[in-house]
A and B are shown apart, each in its own frame.
Chain A
Amino acid sequence: MSAVDAAVRPRRNIELVLLILALIVGCGANAMTAINEGTQLGSDFWMETSILAAASLGLHISLRFRAKYADPLILPIVVTLNGLGLAMIHRLDTPQSDYGNAQARWTVVGMALAAIVIWFLKDHRMLRRFTYISLILSAVLLVLPLVPGITAGDINGAQVWVKFGSSTFQPGEVAKITIGIFFAGYLSTNRDLILLAGRRIGKLQLPRFRDLGPMIIAWLASIGILIFQHDLGMSILFFGIFISMIYVATSRASWAILGILLMFAGAMASSVIFPHIRLRIDGWLNAFDPNVFGRQYGGSYQIVQGLFGMANGGLIGTGIGQGRPDLVPFAHSDMIIAAFGEELGLVGLFAIVMLYALLVTRGMRAAIGARDAFGKLLACGLSAGIGLQCFVVIGGVTRLIPLTGLTTPFLAAGGSSLLANWIITALVLVISNAARRPVDTTPLAPDEAPTPETSSSAWGTSAPETALTQAVKQQ
């Protein structure tokens, strides 16, 4: 009946072709730096190139073996973004800093984790068993940076890191995944209750007060992140993921409206109460005021330097290695989009934004195709999270919204973020494999189709899984 079911080709070869193109872009960016700076392609270049190529081909091969029908476009997109990020971070390295090689190491770890998820997670529905464990895990991960002893303290105004030997880790990034699993499990179980109960006022069906519970908890948690960890970005991200998932689960606009109103109320109240958020908003609205620009804490120096950089880049950019993105504080992490804007120009930046848009679309496509509510909600929530994160970061850098401390997925330097995003990629790939895998189209077994005449008293045995999809397909 539908073209969805017609797409039964694995399309792994298309993935391989696109992957090679992606590697050319990623490693080409790295080579361009050296060419533009007039230096030789050093050992760093060859190491990063071979690492990226070997790891992504390894991932491609594990997809061939374990998830043959996974979406063929997700991996090339992610590898492109990861490669571009590596090149830019490497380019921004000064003789004193070594973020490039650290990022390359984290890339390998991230891809290895993704391969492990693809290899061992045969069925994403298994994760549904961990619904409430995920909730507890997310709570623990979110509270971890506040625990004395393991906390890395206040770094750049936010308390979101934990010490891990000599390195630091941001548990909130991993909490993104666990909270997605919890919401998907919770909403797929309780959707009917939320959907069917409640009072109707005009066109808006309002949820019952006790069904609001999880929403209020999610809201309080995100406000808590804001208050105790001073992390506006993460707070918006968590609540945004929740709103998008509950909207998809119930298809009721009232939830989304209610959630956005709550979010605004929280943001308004916190901007009145907390001075550091007030400074952020001031730095956003009055960025070009000389007093705000020069202010030591919460000033707009960073964002305005980023804007100057992008203006310097213009339409086609200065070329990688030719601009001065190093003038922007945190150019390799928070402001990497500004660095790309300067060196690749508007044309290059739009290509990056397009890649993100395509990645989110593929995640949503996997959600549409998924045959179970849990998989739908999980794929949708995870990809909505990536989309939202991009919006918050790129919107912040381009001064559309106040700048927050979120990382740009796959591009920005930061091990925890890279790790979490690779795991998300693997989960979406596994779900898309389940979505695109052909269903068994053999006719229904005689005892599968109930008719008025059947009156055998046999108890329904656990028939093979394909029978449900078969039944749905037949209508």
Chain B
Amino acid sequence: MNELTLTVLRLGFLVLMWVLVFSIVGAMRRDLLVGRRHKTGAPSAREVRRNPSLAEPPPPRQQAHELVVVEGPLAGARMALGESPILLGRAQEATLVLEDDYASGRHARLFPQGSRWFIEDLGSTNGTYLADRQLTRAQPVELNVPIRIGKTVIELRP
């Protein structure tokens, strides 16, 4: 084979490699949009940067702003809910230390996700009850729904 064909083949192979790379990138393009679907007519990120007044209003604040202990040894205690998860239990490192013999050291965890709070049992001995039903997995907590841990009952308030 002559020199020209070899050179063409050599460059052709490099082009082929990049064709593969770009077809992979092309195939993954639509997959890269995480979390948001494009609305028609919505301002693009660049437009927002140029003109901040176009930006959408921030999502509504979390509804629940306060945690109230309704029953149990700590009845009446209140606690402001921020944006970080809350560890409930008897252990000293818990955010809300429950002085309750029926609570486990690390009993349950309350965590915000989107605009709601979720409660998750952390493998406690006596279980966590949301509206009198034992938790088997993380569940969203509505306002004023009682969460029972041992003798303690807590609720979320606005």
Interface residues of A (CB under 8 A from B): 2-4, 6-7, 11, 14, 17-18, 21-22, 24-25, 28-29, 32, 35-36, 38, 72-73, 76-77, 80, 192-193, 195-197, 208, 316-317, 319-320, 322, 344-345, 347-348, 351-352, 354-355, 358, 361-362, 365, 368, 450-452, 454-463, 467-468, 471-472, 474-475
Contact = CB atoms under 8 A, between A and B. Distances in A.
A72 B14 contact: no
Contacts of A192: 85, 87, 106, 109, 122
Given A317-B14, A351-B18, A358-B21, A36 B87 contact: no
Contacts of A475: 113-116, 140
A460 B135 contact: yes
Contacts of B4: none
Nearest to A76: B24
A125 to B, nearest CB: 13
Nearest to B25: A358
Interface string B108-132: 0100011110100010000000111
Contact of B87 (A17, A196, A467): A196
Contacts of B11: 316
Contact of B34 (A29, A368, A450): A368
B9 interface: yes
Given A73-B27, A76-B24, A468-B138, 18 more contacts: A2-B36, A4-B35, A18-B20, A18-B24, A24-B16, A25-B13, A32-B9, A32-B13, A36-B6, A192-B106, A196-B93, A344-B13, A355-B24, A452-B131, A455-B131, A462-B136, A472-B113, A472-B138
B137 interface: yes
29 contacts: A2-B35, A3-B33, A7-B31, A18-B23, A22-B20, A29-B13, A38-B1, A73-B24, A73-B28, A76-B20, A77-B24, A80-B20, A192-B87, A193-B93, A193-B106, A196-B85, A196-B94, A316-B11, A348-B13, A348-B14, A352-B17, A355-B21, A358-B24, A368-B34, A455-B131, A455-B132, A459-B133, A459-B134, A467-B137
A66 to B, nearest CB: 21
A471 B93 contact: no
A28 B14 contact: no
Nearest to B37: A3
The 6 closest A-B pairs by CB, nearest first: A197-B93, A450-B131, A319-B10, A351-B17, A475-B114, A3-B33
